[in-house]
Amino acid sequence: MPQTARTLFDILHRAARSTPAPDAARRQASLATLGQMILDHADEFAAAIDTDFRGRSRDETQLLEIVPAVRGIRHARRSVARWMRDERRPVELNFQPARAWVRYEPLGVVGIISPWNYPLLLALSPLTDALAAGNRALLKPSELTPTFSDLLARVVVERFPPDEVAVVTGGVDVAEAVAALPFDHLVFTGSTHVGRQVMRAAAENLTPVTLELGGKSPAIVAPDYPLAKAARSVAFGKFINAGQTCIAPDYVLVPHDRVRAFADDVMAVVERGYPTIAGNADYSAIVTDRHRARLVAAVEEARGAGATILDHKAPGDDPRRLAPVLVIDPPRDCTLMRDEIFGPVLPILGYRTLADAMAVVNERDRPLALYCFSTDRATEGAVLDSCTSGGVTINGTLLHIAQDSLPFGGIGPSGMGAYHGREGFRRLSHHRAVYRVGAFNVFERLGPPWSDTSRRIAH
C-alpha cells in the first residue's frame, strides 16, 4: 500500500524538527549515496525514460541527464564544506566589542515537483542542492513518465532512509496534494501556467518557492557571425530531445537577407544528424500523442497563414516522432509565435537592424534563456544590456546550464529564484544572522530613563 504524500511529509518534518543540522561529512555522504544510486541504475533509468517517451535516445539521456546530474553532485560534494562556512560580517565601531556572522543552516523539508522532459535531471538536481544544504526532501516526479517515476521511487527507498528522502508518485491530484503541504521550501519545475497554481497553493502555508518555468527563448544571429556555425549550434540546441527542452532556442532572428541561407544550413545539419526519422534511436519521440497533435496543428496554422515551411526529407512515417520543421517568417500572432513551442519546430524570422531584433525579443515575456551569436563585443554588450533573460549562452546554445559554477533560473514568467551549485545551496539554506555581544558592551547601559548618556550611545 503506497504511503500518501502527507504521511511521507510528516516523517520528514518530524525528523527535521528533532535532529540537529548535519555536518559537512554527513552531507557529503548523502550526496555520495545519491551519485552512486544514479550510476548504479543509469542503464535502467535510460531504459525507463525510453519506454515512457516511446522512443527517447538513450545517448541523450546519458549526455543530458546522467552526466550533468552526477557532475553537479560531485561539484557539491567538493564544495559543500566551503559553502557551509560561517561568514564573518563587520561590526560598526559603536557596537564593538562584538561579533557578527551569517550561518547557512538547513531550511528543513524541501518539496520538489518535477516535469517529464528531463525527468531524472530535473528531479535530482534540486535534490542535490537540498541535500548539500542539509535538508530533507519529498519528490513528486511527473505522471507522464510513470516507468521512470516508479523506478526512482523504488531505488530511493533502497538507498535513503524515509526521514531523509522520499518519493511520491501519481497524477495531478497527488501533485496538488504535494503543493499544499507546509514545506519549508518548494522547488517547482514545469509550465508557467501550473507554476502560478503552485505558488498560490504555497502561499497558503507561506512556503517560499523556487519556480523553474518555461517561455520562448530567442536566438539572435548578428550580421558578423558565420551563418553555418550559428546554424550548427541552433540545430543542436533545438532538436536534441526533439525540442522538448526548456532552454531550447524557441525561435531565431537572422539578418533579413540571409533567412533562407540560414534555414538551408540548419536543414543540412539536421539531415546529416538525423538521416532518417522513423524509428531512429538518436531522435527522440514526442512524449504523448496530444503533444504531437498540438505541434502539428501549430505548424498547419502557420502554413495556412502563408508562412514558408521547410520539411525534413527523410523517408518513412513515425506516429510518435515528429520530423524537424523550419518555419520561415510566420505571422507574429500565430500559435508558434505566441506560445512556447516545446517541440522540433523552428521559426526563423528576418530582421533589418539589431535594434529591430531586440525589439522582437522585448515585445515578449522575459525568457528563460537567450542566445546571441556575435564575435563583436559591442554587439554582445548591446544585446546583454537590452534584452533580459534567465541565463545566456553567447555563440552557442544550452551550455550555460552545464556550468556548475553558474546559477540557473528564470526571470518574470520564466521563473523565480536560481539553483545549481553555490546559488542552489544558498537558495535552500536559511541565512541566519548571529550577533554575539562582547564582554564590555556599552549597550548594557542603554534604556530609560533616556538620559543624555544613553542618547549619546545610540548616535
Interface positions with ligand NAD (CB under 6 A): 113-117, 122, 140, 142-143, 172, 175-176, 179, 189-191, 194, 197-198, 212-214, 246, 340, 342, 368, 410, 415
The rounded distance, in Å, linking the Cα atoms of 311 and 324 is 7
Order of strands across the sheet that contains 87-89? 87-89, 98-106, 429-437
Sign of CA dihedral 315, 320, 323, 325: positive
Q: Which is nearer to ligand NAD, 83 or 342 (CB)?
A: 342
Residue 246 annotated to the active site: yes
Q: Give least dist CB 45 to ligand NAD, A.
A: 17
Task: Give me the catalytic one of 60, 65, 164, 212.
Answer: 212
List, in sequence order, the alpha helices (H) in 209-277: 227-239, 259-273
Q: How far is CA 335 from CA 157, 195, 251, 338, in A?
A: 43, 21, 12, 5
Q: How far apart are the first and last CA of the chain?
A: 65
Cβ atoms within 10 Å of 433's Cβ, excluding its own: 10
Closer to ligand NAD by CB, 138 or 194: give it.
Answer: 194
Judged by beta carbon, residue 338 or residue 445, the one nearer ligand NAD is: 338
With the C-alpha atoms ordered 8, 14, 19, 24, is the resulting torsion angle positive or negative?
Answer: positive
Q: Which cell numbers hold the place of 84?
A: 557551509
Report which residue's Cβ sits closest to ligand NAD.
Answer: 214
Task: State the nearest-atom distance from the C-beta of 199 to ligand NAD, in Å.
Answer: 10
- Identify the DSSP state of 3: P
Identify which of residues 57 and 125 has a Cβ nearer to ligand NAD in the complex.
Answer: 125
Annotated catalytic residue: which of 65, 246, 334, 372?
246
User: What is d(CA 112, CA 207) in angstroms, rounded to the nearest whole number?
Assistant: 13
108 vs 415, which CB is nearer to ligand NAD?
415
Task: Please report how close the Cβ of residue 431 comes to ligand NAD at its closest, in angstroms.
Answer: 24
Considering the complex, what minimum distance in angstroms separates the CB of residue 254 from ligand NAD?
A: 23
212 among known catalytic residues: yes
Question: What does the alpha-carbon distance between residue 292 and residue 274 come to, in Å, rounded to a whole number?
Answer: 19
Catalogue the active-site residues.
Answer: 212, 246
